[in-house]
Amino acid sequence: MVARVTLEIALRKEFDYLIPSELEGCVEVGTRVKVPFGRREVLGCVTSLAEHSDHDSLKSITKIIGTQSLVTPRVLELARWIAEYYCCAPETALKSVLPDAVRKEQQGWRERLFVRLLPGGEGMVNLTKRQAEVYHVIEENRSIALQELLKITGTTAATVRKLEDRGVIEIAPQISERDPYANEEIIPTRPLELNSEQSVALDEVNKNSGEFFLLHGVTGSGKTEVYLQAIAHVLEQGKGAIVLVPEISLTPQTVERFKARFSTGPLKTLVAVLHSHLSVGERHDEWHKIRQGRARIVIGARSAIFAPVEHLGLIIVDEEHEHSYKQEEAPRYHARDVAVVRGQRESATVVLGSATPSMESYHNAKRGRYRLLELPNRADDKQMPLVRVQDMRTEKSKGDKGPPIFSQRLKEAIRDRLEQGEQTILFLNRRGFATSMQCPECGFVAECPNCSMSLTYHRREQFLRCHVCGHNVPAPKYCPQEKCGSPEIRFHGLGTEKVEDVLRKLFPNANVTRMDSDALKRKDDFRRILGDFRRGKIDILVGTQMIAKGLHFPRVTLVGIVYADTGLHLADFRAGERTFQLLTQVAGRAGRGEVEGEVVVQTFSPVHPAIQFARRHDYEGYFEAEMEFREQLYYPPFTRAAMLTLRGRSEEKVSFSADYLKKQIEPIVETITDLQVSGPAPAPLLRAETFYRYQLMLRTGRMSELSRCLAAVTSGLNLPDEVALTIDIDPVNLL
Ligand code: ADP
Ligand code: ZN
Ligand code: ZN
C-alpha cells in the first residue's frame, strides 16, 4: 500500500510513501507520520491511500505519530476545499485544521504519579499511626494524585514510599487530564419552557435535519435556549454538535451555560472548549477528548469549526455577523462560510444566529438558501429599550473648547441612574486618552514612524502609542520639532481613558471603572471587573466593544453611546453596516432586568440610516436601504470580492508591481465575463508596520472559478523579492 503525504515543510505538494508491512493496517487518512525526506526526517499527514504509485523507488514511512489519526477524513477534505477556495497552499490549510498542540511528535498527555491501594496487600496490619492516616485517605479516594495526597495528609513522600515498600499501595504514573474549568462549580440547569416563538424555531430546526437556518432574534430573545435544545435533540440521535462563538464572547459565562446543561456529574467530559487562551496542554487534552468521542459538544472560537467531531449533527454559529470569524492570516478562511460547507458535506444542520445578521446571510435567507427563523421579541416579555438620538451639533460648549463629551441629556440620565441605584454602561470604540497630539504653534502632529497613522495619547502611562503596530514612545512635554519646542501641546479626539476621566470629575461619588484592553492587565481582570459589575460594586462601566456583546446585566438601565460616528466614515463599504450592528448590540445591553432600559446615542450624523434604523430597532428597514446601495455599486452580497494586496518597503516597487499584476489578471476576464477589476490603488491605510500597500479589488459572482484562475496566475508571477502579494477571498477588512 501507498500513502500520499503532505509534509509540514512548505512545498505545496504531496509525496507518495510505502506503508511498511509492520505498519500495514495502522495508517489511515489523517494519520500523522514521520517520513524520510532528503537526508532528514520530517512530519506529515496522510491525505489519501492508494494501491500503487506512479513513482518508483518509493521510500517507506518511518513511524506513526500518535495512536489515532487526529483529524477525521471529512475535515481533511475540508482543508483541501479551503486551500482551493481561499487560494493557499495545502499545508497552510492543514495547519489550521490541526492545532500545534496536537501536531507535536511527543504525546502531550500529562503524566502524574497516582497512589492506589493494592488488592490483596497486607492492609492495615502493623501500620504506624501516621501510616494508617495516610492509608485511610487513600482508601477513601481509591486513587489519588501523589501531590494531592501529600497536601491533604501533610506527610512526606518518604512515608508514602514506605507503604509502597510494604506492598500495601502502588505508586504509578497515570494520565491526568487538564481541565481548564476544573475549579468551577457548575450548577446544572434544566430546559426552559419555551415560549411560542422559540418553540416554532426549534421545531423547524429539529424537523429539517441537514438544512441551513438563519435565526434572526433580537438581543435577549432567547436564541441560546434554542441552541441548547437543538443540541439536546441531536445528542439523542447519537450525534455531536459544534458551537462557534466569537472569541470575545467566549466568556466563562457563555461556556457555563452550555456546561450547566450538558456537562455536569458523570458527563463532565461531554462539552469540550477550544479557544486561544488555553495552554498547549489543555488544548491537547480537549482535542483528544473530542477525537475519542468522549466530548460530543464542542464550543469554541473560529478554529473550532475543524474540531474532529464524528457523526456531526449540528453546527451553530452564534453572532454570525462577527468579523472575527474571518482569519486575517493565511489561510484567510471565514469560519461561518466554512461551517456551511462542512454542514453540507457532512449532512449536518447549520444554524446561523444573530440579532443583526450579515447582509450576506440575510440575503441568502431572502433568496431561499437558508430558512429564516425570527424571534422578534425578548424572551422575558421585556420591551426593547427606548433609543434617543442626541444631535451633538446642537450641543453648546463653554468657551472655545468645541463640543462637550457629554450632552446635557446624557449627563442628566446618568445622574438619574446614580440616584436610583441603577447601573450605566458607556460605550466608545476607541482606547486611550486622545487620538492625536498636535502643536498649535508649528502644526506638528505626532505620527507613527511605521504607519500612516497619528499616535494615540495614553495619559495614565504618559505614552504615545500606535494602534496599528504598537509603536510606543514617552509622551513629550514640549513640541519635539527642533526649531519649535513649544510647551503648548494640544490633544484632540477622545478615547475611553478621557471619558473615564471626565466622568470621575462629573460624578465624584460614583464608582467608575474602565474596561478596554489597556485596563486589563492581568489574566483574570476581565472576569473580576464583570463580577464586580454584576454584584453592583460598579455604578458606571466605560468600555470598548469588549462590553458591547453578549453580556447580560439585569441592573443596567442606561446605555450611552458616547460617539456613534467613530466607524461611520471609514473607507469601507461595510462602514454603515458595522455601525448599525454595533449600535444594535450595544443598545441590547440596556433594560435586561425588571426596569425598562434607555439608550442615548450621541452623534454628529443623526440622520444617517445606520443610526435612524438602529434607533427604531428596524433591521429589515436597514437591510432594504443598504441593499439598494450595495446593488448600485456592485458590492457583496450581490457579488463576491477578492482583495489582492501588494506590500513592500519601497512604495515605487509596490506601485509598479500592482500595475504589473493587473496586466497579468486581464486575460481572466475572457473566462470570467462578469469580472470587475478595480484599482490598483493605495490602501486606505497606505502604510502599516513599515510596509506600503497597494490593492486591487476583483468582483465576480463566480468566485470558485476566480480562485482557480488566481492560483494559476499567481504561481507564475514574477514579483521583485521585496514585494509580497496576499490574496484575500471574501475580505472583511478593506483597510
Ligand atoms: P439571546 O441569546 O437571544 O440574546 P438569551 O438566550 O441570552 O438571548 O436569553 C435572554 C434571557 O432570557 C436569558 O436570561 C434567558 O435565560 C431568558 N430566557 C430565554 N428563554 C426563555 C424562556 N423560554 N422563558 C423564560 N426566560 C427565557
Ligand atoms: Zn511645534
Ligand atoms: Zn504604527
- pLDDT tens-digit profile of 503-529? 999 999 999 999 988 888 887 888 899
CA proximity to 650, closest of 638, 658, 660: 658
Amino acid at residue number 472? N
Q: 465 alpha carbon to ligand 2 midpoint, in Å?
A: 19
Is 90 exceeded by the pLDDT of residue 325? yes
Ligand number nearest to the C-alpha of 438: 2
Mean pLDDT score, 272-299: 85
Residues with CB under 5 A from ligand 3 (ion): 448, 450-451, 466, 468-469, 471
Q: Are residues 365 and 254 in the same domain?
A: yes
Query: Which mutation among 224, 316, 383 tests ligand 1's pocket best, with the greatest number of atoms within 8 A of CB?
Result: 224
Q: Which of 403, 385, 384 is nearest to 393 (CA)?
A: 403
Q: Could you tell me the residue range of the domain that residue 569 belongs to? A: 386-432+495-628
The answer to whether residue 403 sits within a structural domain is: yes
Number of domains comprising the chain: 6
DSSP assignment of 42-102 equals EEEEEEEEES--SSSSPPBP-EEESSS-SS-HHHHHHHHHHHHHTT--HHHHHHHHS-HHH
CA distances from 536 to 38, 506, 529, 531 (A): 65, 20, 11, 9
CA of 378 relative to ligand 1 center, distance in Å: 8
Q: What is the pLDDT of residue 443?
A: 92
The CATH number for 130's domain is 1.10.10
Is 60 exceeded by the pLDDT of residue 465? yes
- Model pLDDT, residue 676: 94
**Which of 412, 408, 428 has the alpha carbon at shortest distance from 420?**
412
C-beta of residue 529 within 8 angstroms of C-beta of residue 502: no
Output the pLDDT for position 144.
80
Look at residue 351 in the predicted model and tell me its pLDDT: 98
Alpha carbon distance 565, 403 (integer Å)? 14
The pLDDT, as a whole number, for residue 177 is 63
Q: Considering every ligand atom shown, identify the ligand nearest to the alpha carbon of residue 261 and give its number.
A: 1
Residue 404: asked if its preceding bond is cis (omega within 30°), the reply is no
183 within some domain: no
| Grid cell for residue 704 | 470558485
Is residue 205 pLDDT above 80, yes or no?
yes
Q: Which of 493, 511, 527 is the last residue of a domain?
A: 493
Residues 489 and 499 reside in one and the same domain:
no
- Report residue 286's pLDDT band, with 50, 70 and 90 as the boundaries: confident
**Is 189 part of any domain?**
no
Is 53 among the domain residues?
yes
The reply to whether 438 and 525 lie within a common domain is: no
What letter does residue 15 receive in the DSSP assignment?
E
Tell me the residues surrounding ligand 2 (ion) with CB < 5 Å: 439, 441-442, 444, 479, 481, 484, 486
Same-domain status, 351 and 366? yes
Cis bond before residue 357 (omega within 30° of 0): no
554 and 514 in one domain? yes
Give yes or no for a contact between 19 and 1, defined as CB atoms under 8 angstroms apart. yes
Q: Where are the beta strands (DSSP E) in 301-383?
A: 312-318, 349-354, 371-375
Of the three residues 628, 658, 686, the one that is the final residue of a domain is 628
* Last residue of one domain, picked from the residues 576, 607, 628: 628
Query: Would the CB of 225 count as within 6 Å of ligand 1?
Result: yes
- Residue 634: inside a domain: no
CATH of the domain at 326: 3.40.50.300
Question: What is the Å distance from ligand 1's center to 356 Cα?
Answer: 17
Same domain, 415 and 530: yes
> Mean pLDDT, the chain, as a whole number?
88
Residue 26 in domain: yes
Nearest to 578 by CA among 611, 627, 624: 611
CB 72 within 8 A of CB 308: yes
Residue 36 and residue 132 in one domain: no
Domain harbouring 690, CATH code: 3.30.70.600
User: CA–CA separation, 676 vs 574, rounded Å?
Assistant: 19
The reply to whether 677 and 715 lie within a common domain is: yes
The predicted model scores a pTM of 0.85
Give the span between the Cα atoms of 142 and 580, in whole angstroms: 58
506 and 409 inside one domain: yes
- Answer yes or no: do 341 and 485 share one domain: no
pLDDT of residue 421: 93
3-state secondary structure of 343: helix
Q: What are the pLDDT digits (tens) for 261-275? A: 887 666 667 899 988
Instruction: Judge if 124 and 33 occupy the same domain.
Output: no
In sequence order, what are the residues at sequence separation of 6 or more whose Cβ sits closer than 8 angstroms to the Cβ of residue 97? Answer: 71, 75, 76, 78, 79, 82, 306
Rounded CA-CA distance 613/618 in Å is 5
DSSP annotation of 509 reads T
The verdict on residue 503 lying in a domain is yes
Residues 359, 398: one domain? no
pLDDT digits (tens, 9 = 90+) for 615-642: 999 999 999 999 999 999 999 999 999 9
Q: What is the distance in A from the centroid of ligand 3 to the CA of 435?
A: 13
Is 217 a pocket residue for ligand 1 (Cβ < 6 Å)? yes
Instruction: Kindly identify the ligand whose nearest atom is closest to the C-alpha of 476.
Output: 2
Which DSSP letter does residue 302 get? Answer: G
Task: Please tell me the distance from the alpha carbon of residue 582 to that of residue 611, in angstroms, as a whole number.
Answer: 10
With respect to residue 182, please indicate whether it lies within any of the assigned structural domains.
Answer: no
Does the beta carbon of 439 lie inside 6 Å of ligand 1?
no
Gap from CA of 482 to ligand 2 centroid (Å): 8
